[in-house]
Amino acid sequence: MDIEKYISSGILESYVLGVATREEAQEVEAMAAQHPQVKKEIEEIRKVLEGYSEAHSKTPPAHLKNKILGAIDELEENENKGSGRVIEMDTRKSGTSRWLAAASIALLILSGALNVFQYNKLNEANTKIAALESEKSVLADEFNTLKANYTQKENDLAILSNPNNKTVLMKGVEKQPDALASVYWNSQTKETFLAVNSLPVPPPDKQYQLWAIVDGKPVDMGVFDVTDSLQKMKPIEGAQAFAVTLEKKGGSPTPTLEEMYVVGNI
């Protein structure tokens, strides 16, 4: 039996309110003895009903009670002016009416308590659902990030291990002795990839630019950022060397030789 469906069927509330049939009551007691979750739910329902009753209970003032009883006595005295048979019938009717009124009030209170209980359970469920959705979203973002990083590393490894790619190590110039970068150039496909090994982070208005030396002249290979992944640059044919300069953001048509950081021959 699905315990969650059994708990939400409403039979436990009927049992606590005392309106369950004898067979239903026996069934609930047997389930509570076998399943701690059912027993705990019964205790929670009782606590809610008791709390609701205490929160809404109020002892009427003594004068109000006396006034009500006096009005009832006066009403019965006026009705007793008829025949004995009518008096007996009216008395039974009066007693039944009182019982029905009391029962209606009790049911109203219990109904309100059940509504409060169900409302609290609904809020609790909604809170749990929202928390799970948030956790799911965070995990999904983390997974997508890890997947993207894995794919990038896998692509980088394929480029590095390609025997058709020539590795050109560009070392720092005299002004930048610690600078280092590498170019992976495929002379057949003309594809060029750049790896930043060690370059300082440029100012916000500056950007590094890669150059290829072809027939003694610099050819623009595109600007790049300082990252730990391989970056695809512009294709080139007949390159004899590569160099990196620091230019204004967006690049320059000609290299600023005073801002050269690394250079390497093929």
DSSP string, 162-214: -TTEEEEEEEE-TT-TT-EEEEEEETTT--EEEEEEE-PPPPTTEEEEEEEEE
In a domain, 131, yes or no: no
Q: Where among 9, 39, 58 does a domain terminate?
A: 58
pLDDT digits (tens, 9 = 90+) for 80-130: 555 444 444 444 444 455 555 555 555 666 666 667 777 777 788 888 888
In a domain, 36, yes or no: yes
Instruction: Say whether pLDDT at 39 is over 70.
Output: yes
Q: Where among 13, 30, 58 does a domain terminate?
A: 58
Q: Give the integer Cα–Cα distance in Å for 76 and 91.
A: 8
Residue 216: give the domain boundaries.
Answer: 165-265
User: Nearest 10 degrees: CA dihedral of 183, 187, 190, 195?
Assistant: -10
In a domain, 121, yes or no: no
Predicted model pTM: 0.47
In a domain, 65, yes or no: no
pLDDT digits (tens, 9 = 90+) for 212-263: 999 999 999 999 999 988 999 999 999 999 999 999 999 999 999 999 999 9
Contacts of 53 (CB under 8 A, 6+ apart): 109, 113
